[in-house]
Structure 1
Amino acid sequence: MRLKLVRENTKFDFFSRWKLWLGISMLMVVIGFTSYAIQGLNFGIDFRGGTTIRTESTQPVVIGEYRAALDTLNLGDISITEVFDPNFRADQNVAMIRIQAQEGQEAVEVDTIVQVEAALQTIDPGMKFPSVESVGPKVSGELIKTAALAVVLAIGAVLIYIWLRFEWQFALGAVAALVHDVVLTIGVFSELQIKFDLAIIAALLTIVGYSLNDTVVVFDRVRENLRKYKKKELAEVLNISINETLSRTVMTSVTTLLALIALFVLGGDVIRGFVFAMIWGVIVGTYSSVFVASTILLYLGVKRDWSKPDANAGNQFANIDA
């Protein structure tokens, strides 16, 4: 007996209230922009600058004990991760501790580093500190610019890819959905003031790929059905296409969310921000593939038969060829 999350031959009308769905999306985008403009993002050490201390101990690394020892110093954002390497000795336990730069300072002061080392040595008096590295605000600023450029270039590459594979109307619909997903993800991080670091940039790029994959599957079916149903209205063809791919969309999203929720609950603090971004991205990415990308395509229209240069246009915008 096969598991079916969506029954066969569904006939949902996704576009009877397309203006409402598009209005909701635009409202959420405005809220995201407003939150970002007012609160900004809670940047992590990667973007703020700070100091990284590498520790080495013969005792196992217990992150809870490390954090409890450092909490008394009131140093703000502290990230603690255990380092694993097959070349380590059996009694070689290594951790990386990242401390944000204090207000008005380029990096963590030497006296503060001494206090951190003394606090950690209360756990293991023989603990060693092989390296201490600092990242100043200038380097952090460059990372922010590079991260923003990476997201913009990814979306630009998607625009060109969809334009070449389909037509410009499909490309604009896909890019609108991707921008929608990225803006809402940044907006929710701004609104909830969740730490924003390089891992979240990786999540944003992953969300772009995930959302694009779902959108391309729908658009492929739309293009096939536009040739198959030449006399049906564009909205009807879009509804048929989305219903035909709905089972695949729901199954993919649900199975992905099952894995992500398990990681969010059991994965610990180190990856929780990344996983939260992925969960949010899967949800809004699935939503945008149907209610943003397809709605934009409905508004712009497409030619009904690519084999004829004078084919009927979907609406007034569809006469412009790429």
Structure 2
Amino acid sequence: MFNKTINFMRWRKPFYAIALLFSLFSIGSLAVKQLNFGLEFTGGALVELNYSEPVELESIRQTLHGAGWGDAIVQNFGSASDVIIRLSSEDPELGNQIARLIQREDAEHEVTVKRVEFVGPQVGEELRDQGGLGMLLALAGIMLYVALRFQVKFAVAGLAALLHDAIFTLGLLSFFGIPFDLTVLAALLAAVGYSLNDTIVVFDRIRENLRLMRTSDLTHVINVSTTQTLARTLATSVSTILVLMSLLVFGGESLQSFAITLIIGVVIGTYSSIYVANGLLINLKLTREDLIPKQLEEVDDRP
């Protein structure tokens, strides 16, 4: 598809600066605004209601606000007649109180309570800690896999790109106040996996071309390898984003945070696999000798 080699590494340093600014911005947002943790991590009540016909969410919000629950989150779930109410609280009976209030105040509709759940603050804290630990273990496993599959310098470059992706995605979620729940955590892990797959495809071509293009320097080999895999990268990224845009538009509010997180992850992952991961290989001074397995010399201890 691309007959001419694109000189990606020509803009390596400017994109380094952009990546650094994005990372500092994200860390600052996480430090100041922090993440808007959802009910699963903070604890609270969840009530799922089914109406006989579509209902205006604003009327439900006004009812809850009049009863002193102005911070309740009211969303459609699947259809316009299914509603979920989330509220941070340490009262296990709060969900039942809200359900009774809605049924009593809304005389125009037939309201059925489908589900009432309560997540205690200790459970939410455990989920938050386990989610963070799971992310760290995933990154450690990825670094080990890339080190065994390729070489340590590939692992360092790949891990740096994944950390950049995770930090920047979390920073945007924090800045825009997007609720961070278990679905968003799943989307973040999926975005990390997508970025890793994209990076490994390019790494594999770089390793192959380093062995074939013996007279070319590393920068040229990276440019050639990235150009050769660019069509595949663009096709995968565009098709994935189209599916996620469909989820964002037609999936309802319950899937919006999931779709937004993955869209951010795919865009940042595509960029970082080209300029962060590949660029760091140059800084780490990858050579052809790094790809040659070290042979163990047999030592003859016999006299």
Q: TM-score range by the shorter chain?
A: 0.7 to 0.9
| TM-score normalised by length of structure 1 | 0.81
Counterpart amino acid of residue 87 in structure 2: Q
Alignment pair present for 1:116 and 2:107: no
Q: 2:38 aligns with which of 18, 35, 44?
A: 44
**Deviation at 1:166?**
0.2
The 2-side partners of 1:151 and 1:301 are apart by: 29
| 2:20 matched residue in structure 1 | 26
Of Structure 1 and Structure 2, which has the larger fraction of its residues in helix? Answer: 2
1:279-298 matches, cutoff 5 A:
279-298=263-282
The 2-side partners of 1:12 and 1:71 are apart by: 57
CA contact (8 A) 1:48 1:100 kept: no
The 1-side partners of 2:259 and 2:115 are apart by: 30
Q: 1:270 aligns with which of 254, 265, 271?
A: 254
| TM-score normalised by length of structure 2 | 0.86
The 2-side partners of 1:130 and 1:287 are apart by: 44
Q: What SS does structure 2 have at the residue aligned with 1:99?
A: strand
1:43-62 matches, cutoff 5 A:
43-55=37-49, 59=52, 62=54
CA-to-aligned-CA distance 1:275-296 (integer Å, 9 cap, x gap): 0111111100000000111111
Alignment pair present for 1:99 and 2:86: yes
Q: What SS does structure 1 have at the residue aligned with 2:8?
A: coil
The 2-side partners of 1:215 and 1:275 are apart by: 22
1:291-306 matches, cutoff 5 A:
291-305=275-289, 306=291
Provide the aligned length of Structure 1 versus Structure 2.
289
The 1-side partners of 2:114 and 2:169 are apart by: 38
CA contact (8 A) 1:49 1:101 kept: yes
| 1:319 matched residue in structure 2 | none
The 2-side partners of 1:170 and 1:273 are apart by: 32
The 1-side partners of 2:43 and 2:91 are apart by: 7
Counterpart amino acid of residue 37 in structure 1: A
The 1-side partners of 2:183 and 2:27 are apart by: 21
| Bigger shift: residues 11-20 or 182-191 | 11-20
Counterpart amino acid of residue 114 in structure 1: R
| 1:136 matched residue in structure 2 | 120
CA contact (8 A) 1:80 1:98 kept: yes
Alignment pair present for 1:68 and 2:59: yes
CA contact (8 A) 1:28 1:184 kept: yes
The 1-side partners of 2:265 and 2:120 are apart by: 31
CA contact (8 A) 2:45 2:117 kept: yes
Aligned sequence identity (%): 35
The 2-side partners of 1:244 and 1:113 are apart by: 58
| 1:87 matched residue in structure 2 | none
CA-to-aligned-CA distance 1:52-87 (integer Å, 9 cap, x gap): 234466x35x3x435632443123242545579xxx
Q: How well do the aligned residues superpose, as a CA RMSD in angstroms?
A: 2.5
